[in-house]
Each structure stands twice: as structure tokens, then as C-alpha cells.
Amino acid sequence: MSYGIYIGRNHTADGIAYLAGYGDEPSAHWLELVPRQSYAPGSTITVGVTSHAGLPGRRSQIPQADQTARHLRVSYSHYLGVPAPLTNGGLNEHGVAVRDIWSPSRPELIAMTPADQTGPNYSDLARIVTERATTARHGVEIIADLIARHGYACYGGNSHMIADPDEAWVVIQFSGGRGLWVAERLGPDSIRASRPGYIGAIPAEPDADHLFPPHFIDTAVELGWYDRGEGAFDVNRVYGDGLGRWAGVAWIEDAMTALAARPEKVTLADVFWANSTERLTGDTAGYGQVVPLTHPRHAELRMMWHAPVGPVTAPLVPVFLGQTQVPLEFGAHRYLASGESARFLDERHVDKQPDSVSHIPQGAESTVSAFYVFKRLMHLVFQRPDPFLAEISSHWRCVESQFAGELPDIQRSAILLLDAGEADLCARLLTSHASTWLLKALAEAQILASALEVRLRAVGGLNMSVSPRRPEQIW
């Protein structure tokens, strides 16, 4: 399902817009730093879904770009049968950030989706925009062009939030095989949450704040779902679930609007809270991201705050586009990875069973999985939220504050090195500090988890029923 929230720069204490959120997927998650890459003319990529997907279809090839952008993203291994690896987006070297969020199409559209649907799926769109977009609006145009040329392979309807330092767009793609999509612009005065993605009333024709294909409204008229004489075209009512803002969306939008009305406006800690509050974030959140949308002097200094699981019980840690690697502990491991339960770190059966060997390198698997460690901590906390949740949340918020205090000196040092032409030294600096922060958080999580397990065992608090415990969530 996923969650995203955009806060325009006029509402923040530092005058910076933010895009934050997480993905809801029941599988392994890992952080990836993907370099800029060039491709030979005529190169293609494979996109779409298979016959095993929730809504089946066919894989197909579409042209690859001549060059793709350096970017940070979280990848994962399973969702509704869509081929892995998958991503909900991330941040690229041009300052474009992408969040993928579920957005259900009306049942009739889902029912008319062709069984042999082709074209990019939701993850393909998120990845391609992250690889190619130079602005948020460019990201919308990329999605529009891909759908027009190649179609769209859906699982029931989807949306994306695409943002840069100047603006953001909510883009919804609908089921049905009709090439239906719509986009709404968000600006410096906007506060918008998506779960699911929604758009309300739009004008009869595209304008500066609304984009959609020429047949968008005509199709609704043709299907008998809208009469031009009935007033405004409400996208959610006509093509979506008709529920408007869900309760959780209304709650967090109203809460952030109230925070923005204070003299101090929305602080970085407030943005972290919007991503970590137990009312919105739990086990289904596979990770957390907060992207400050800025134009630094050098692209290497673009960064995001990353949590390896839902940040309700994990810290958000700074990572940079200019670093050269991610610690193996935060990369791919076998824990919860789709298909890994049937594979070995052993090649003796590979001749007869080609897929019997793990997709994870043995060296990576022999390191500690940050995803597992933080999941363990989460479920220890959830078995006794009072007092564990307040204790752990307070600890990680202090850690985040410590990292935020150290960040300006690191950024200033990086600028000095880049201005002096010392790109390699800058990369070493950023890699060293990001790795130190990530591994510090991991070491603390291991200590905290061990302590909480001891405390739970001492009071007979380990939950051995088949009903998991968790804090109450709105969604």
C-alpha cells in the first residue's frame, strides 16, 4: 500500500520542502546506491508482469535511455507476484525524489484490465523516473509517454509522488487498459499525504496544475460514469475508490497543517515524526525515507534519511549520493527474500536445478542483516509497547538529533573538498561518515534488542500466540 507525504517549503522551519514515506511490502528490503550508467544505442529493458501476477500480463521490452542517473533507492523482493527486484523510487543526482503509493481504481476498471496486459508496472515506472527524470514535471511526462507508447501493467491501480526542490506532482495510473492517468501539481504551500494516492476535482482541460491525456474525461462519459452537465469532474469519485481522503491521510495532513501554523513551522523532527508515529507506521512498513529537497552546490551532497525498517522503532540515518558504497549489513540478505527458502549457498545441484543457488552472495549473507536486527527490535517492542515504545522511540529520536547536529560540518567539509577538485577524498569522507552512522545505529539496535528480550523473558512476556501484538494504527 505504502505511504507518502509532501510538505512544501513555505511550511518548514528551514525553508526546505520534504518528501517522506515508506513502502508496505512483506519481503526483504535493502538499500542500494546505483551509479550513473551509459547504454549502447538500441538497448532495451524488460518491463511488466507475468501470468503469475495478481492481475496477469506479459513481459515486454522497451527502449532503454542512453544514460541513467546516479541514484539511491530501496529495493525489495516481493509484491503481488510482480517480478523482482522491485522499488518504490528514491532520490537521483538531479534532485528528483519518487515515492510509489497504491491507489485503487474502481472495480469496473480492474475487471476490464486485459489478461495479456503489457507495459511498465508500478515499480518499473518508479525506477525509470528515478533513472531518467531531471525535474518532477519531467517525471510526469516520462510516465505519460511510457503509458501512451507501451501501455501500463497494473495490479489494481497505483500512484506516484514525484518531487524536486521547486514542486511536486501526484500522478495516478488507473487499471482498465485504457491508458488513463492524471497528475496534480503540489507547490510551496502544499501539505499532501497519500495512502492511497488521491486527486479530487480537476478542470475540464489540462492547466498548469493538472495534467491528463485528451481522452481522460471522454472515457468516463463513454462508460456512463460522468455527465458533463453534472459539474466538476472528481477523479477519486469517477475513477477511484470514491472514498476521498482516508482517515489516516486526513489525520496526518491536519496534524502537519497545525504544526505549520506555529511560529516555528514544521521542523525536521516533525517530518521524522510524521514518518515514525506508531499511529501510521508498523510492521508492514518495510523501510523509511525522508528526502530534503534542495539544490546543493554539488550533486554529491544530495542526501536522504534512511531507516532499514519502519522508523517507529528504528532511526532515520543520513546517506549521500556522493558516497561510493553502502555497508553490506544494509544490503541484500536472505531474510524474508522471496524464493530464498528453496535455495542453498551450495552449487552441487545447480545442473539439475538452476534456481537452487541463492541469489545472495555468500560474503554478504555472512554479515549481519540490518533488516533482520531492526525487525527483531520492532517485535520485541510491540509485545510490550508500554513502556518499550516510548523508551526506544525516544532513544532513536535523540540519535537522529545527534546525526542532524553533525551533518552541517560534514557537508561543509565535502563542499571544501569538491571545490578544491578533490572528488575522491570527498567520496571517502561521505562514505566513511554514512557507514559509521549506519553501523552505529545497527550496533545499538543489537544491544537494545538483547536487553528487551531479557526484560520480556523475565516477566514471561514473550507472546507465543498466533496473534501478534502491536500498537493501534489508523490504517
Which residue, 291, 243, 371, is CA-closest to 20? 291
Confidence of residue 203 (pLDDT cuts 50, 70, 90): very high
| Euclidean distance between CA atoms 300 and 419, whole angstroms | 12
Q: Are 350 and 356 in contact (CB under 8 A)?
A: yes
User: End-to-end alpha-carbon separation of the chain, Å?
Assistant: 10
Dist CA 146 CA 128 (whole Å): 10
Assign 3-class secondary structure to 135-158: CHHHHHHHHHHHHHHHCCCCCCCE
pLDDT per position as a tens digit, 307-352: 999 999 999 999 999 999 999 999 999 999 999 999 999 999 999 9
CB 413 within 8 A of CB 429: yes
Contact 199, 170 (CB under 8 A): yes
Q: How far are the Cα atoms of 207, 210, 231, 232, 406 from residue 228, in angstroms, in the given order?
A: 18, 18, 7, 8, 57
For residue range 317-328, list pLDDT tens digits in order: 999 999 999 999
- Cα–Cα distance measured from residue 373 to residue 413, given in angstroms and rounded to the nearest whole number: 32
pLDDT band at residue 208 using 50, 70 and 90 as cut-offs: very high
Place of cell 496486459: 117
Question: pTM higher than 0.95 for the full model?
Answer: yes
Mean local confidence (pLDDT), 7-22: 98
What number is the average pLDDT over the span 168-177?
A: 98
Q: For residues 120 and 146, is the Cβ–Cβ distance under 8 A?
A: yes
Q: Three cell numbers at 441?
A: 545505529
Domain 3-295 maps to which CATH number in 1.10.20, 3.60.60, 3.30.70, 3.40.50? 3.60.60
Helix axes 385-419, 370-383, angle to 10 degrees: 150
Q: How far apart are CA 454 and CA 369, in angstroms?
A: 21
Q: Which of 331, 325, 396, 377 is nearest to 74 (CA)?
A: 331
Provide the residue ranges of all domains of the chain, joining segments of one domain with +: 3-295, 370-475
> Nine-digit cell at 152?
501500463
> Residue 253 and residue 346: Cα distance in Å, rounded?
51
Of 128, 106, 32, 46, which Cα lies nearest the Cα of 82? 46
Q: What are phi and psi of 338, to 5 degrees?
A: -60, 130
CA angle at residue 448 from 445 to 451, to 5 degrees?
150
Using a 10 angstrom Cβ sphere, with 0-12 exposed, 13-18 middle and 19 or more buried, the burial of residue 340 is buried
Please give the mean pLDDT across all residues of the chain. Answer: 97
CB-based contact 122:82 (threshold 8 Å):
yes
User: Which burial class, exposed, middle or buried, applies to 448 when counting CB atoms under 10 A from its CB (0-12, 13-18, 19+)?
Assistant: buried
pLDDT tens track for 125-150: 999 999 999 999 999 999 999 999 99
For residue 1, name the pLDDT band (cuts at 50, 70, 90): confident
Helices (H), 360-422: 362-365, 370-383, 385-419
Q: Look at residue 269 in the predicted model and tell me its pLDDT.
A: 98
> Amino acid identity, residue 457?
R
Name residue, grid cell 497519500.
Answer: 194
Q: Is 336 strand, coil or helix?
A: coil
The C-alpha cell 510524521 sits at 274
Q: Is the pLDDT of residue 236 over 90?
A: yes
DSSP annotation of 83 reads P
Q: Are residues 300 and 320 in contact, defined by beta-carbon separation less than 8 angstroms?
A: yes
In this prediction, residue 243 carries a pLDDT of: 96
What gap in Å lies between CA 332 and CA 371, rounded to an integer? 9
pLDDT at 433 over 90: yes
Beta-sheet strand order (sheet of 303-307): 191-194, 3-7, 17-22, 288-293, 303-307, 317-320
